[in-house]
Structure 1
Amino acid sequence: MQHIIEITEDGSHTLYVPELDEHYHSTHGAIQESLHVYLEAGLHHCDKPEINLLEIGFGTGLNAFLTLLDTEKSKKTVKYTSLERYPVSCVDARMFNYSKLLDPSQEKKFMRLHSSAWSVWEEITPNFHLKKLQMDATNPDGFQPEGLFDIIYYDAFAPEKQPNMWTQEIFNRLYILSNQEAILTTYCAKGAVRRMLQSAGYQVERLPGPPGKREILRAVKR
């Protein structure tokens, strides 16, 4: 997919996809959205010292980068599996300003997220291990992870843009792949998505959203 790099309101980059008329991150602020939806509402609510994490949509690598930086402070170990059907090139990734805004000394680690091999575990840091799989979640039975997940970042394009990424079958499969007390977070608070998560078995709550968004969803496997 072709894309255009744009600046969001917090100064950080997002990608715009003309084909879908869709942005990878909120135009109100890419970094603040990712921090709010995935780290503050998700990762920070898991007390385990070793976390098995699944991301649906690697995209710009921002969620992975923020998670990596978080492990440098928390000293927790994260095994980070990410599914991405259309990878961003390293050429484009070098243009993103995330490390410039967050910590310029971490630029090499950010680029390693993008340059690391696919389909194998890569140790980016002693506390952050990454496996990228070039696939999406539309065939959930085709994804066979090594263990159950503690955290799921659900960051696919919006349902109206890619409805096949928001189906009952997918959420049923993710529920099966979740540990007890696992947390799934997503920026999408649509009623249909909330009901699918509940039907899968999750306990779902609406939370206040980041700037420009009224609500987000957090689902927990009880």
Structure 2
Amino acid sequence: MHPDVQLRATADGSGTLYVPALDEHYHSTHGAVQEARHVYLGAGLEPALAAATGPVCVLEVGFGTGLNALLTLERSRTAPVPIAYDTVEKHPLPWELVRELATAPELQVPPLPAFRQQLHEAVWEQPVVLAPTFTLRKLAGELQHLALEAAAYQVIYFDAFAPDKQPDMWTDAVFGQLYAAAAPGGCLVSYCAKGSFKRSLRATGWQVEAIPGPPGKREMTRAWKR
């Protein structure tokens, strides 16, 4: 077991990690998979796929256990266009730890277990084609120090730890950086619905809306680059 985290189960049978030093979970304890599907795929990816005329580029802030990436890879296999998926992680988790996490039955159907391992074992800093419909690029380090391509991403999954746990990730500077990286008409989605978060988004140009959240949360946030 990794000394800094603990394995935990969530209500839908999928696993998450708990960080005692932060008193924070990687996913909702009400259900890791259903949270990811609702917040990131349902509110972010699906609208982008519906509007797409070419490949959809996704930026994920917080690769974590790889759950959002795995579900996006799964969706890419039936998507109308390919998906290019860039993900940023300051503290990568070893595959030996992640594979101990419980997985929902729906994610145990081949080839998803193999994809799950490939996501974690893929080399960093360069594109890796994991399926004809899905290309992964993992970027190690702090988001604030990365030079992101301008106007490149139709969807941004903002999945950092909560503002009171990781305040340096929830600043006007970060959301301005992400606004510049978003394509015109692109969106940013997050589980967070705090007023300070939405004010920072608006201050950096985003058009913000509160929409229904996943189980256990009344609201979540979606923001658009108009």
Normalising by the smaller structure, the TM-score range is over 0.9
Match of 2:201 in 1: 197
The 5 A counterparts of 1:14-29 are 14-29=16-31
Give the residue type in structure 2 aligned to 1:39. Answer: L
CA contact 1:82–1:131 (8 Å) conserved in 2:
yes
Alpha-carbon distance in 2 for matches of 1:146, 1:111: 31
Match of 1:138 in 2: 144
Normalising by structure 2, what TM-score? 0.93
Alpha-carbon distance in 1 for matches of 2:4, 2:68: 21
Match of 1:211 in 2: 215
CA displacement 1:153-189 (0-9 Å, x = unmatched): 0000000001001000000111111111001000000
The answer to whether 1:117 aligns with 2:119 is no
Structure 1 residues 146 and 110: alpha-carbon distance in aligned structure 2, compared to 1, 3 A threshold: farther
CA RMSD of aligned residues (A): 1.4
Normalising by structure 1, what TM-score? 0.95
Alpha-carbon distance in 2 for matches of 1:213, 1:70: 24
Match of 1:186 in 2: 190
CA contact 2:92–2:140 (8 Å) conserved in 1:
yes
Alpha-carbon distance in 1 for matches of 2:39, 2:184: 21
The answer to whether 1:40 aligns with 2:42 is yes
Alpha-carbon distance in 2 for matches of 1:98, 1:196: 35
CA contact 1:189–1:215 (8 Å) conserved in 2:
yes
Alpha-carbon distance in 1 for matches of 2:62, 2:98: 15
The 5 A counterparts of 1:65-214 are 65-98=70-103, 100-105=105-110, 106-139=112-145, 142-145=146-149, 148-214=152-218
Question: What displacement does 1:12 show?
Answer: 0.5
Question: What displacement does 1:215 show?
Answer: 0.5
CA contact 1:55–1:152 (8 Å) conserved in 2:
yes
Q: Any stretches of 5+ residues in structure 1 without a counterpart?
A: none
Give the residue type in structure 2 aligned to 1:104. Answer: V
3-state SS, counterpart of residue 42 of structure 1? helix
Aligned residues: 220
Q: Any stretches of 5+ residues in structure 2 without a counterpart?
A: none
Question: What displacement does 1:201 show?
Answer: 0.8
Alpha-carbon distance in 1 for matches of 2:103, 2:204: 35
Alpha-carbon distance in 2 for matches of 1:99, 1:9: 10
CA contact 1:99–1:107 (8 Å) conserved in 2:
no
Give the residue type in structure 2 aligned to 1:62. Answer: L
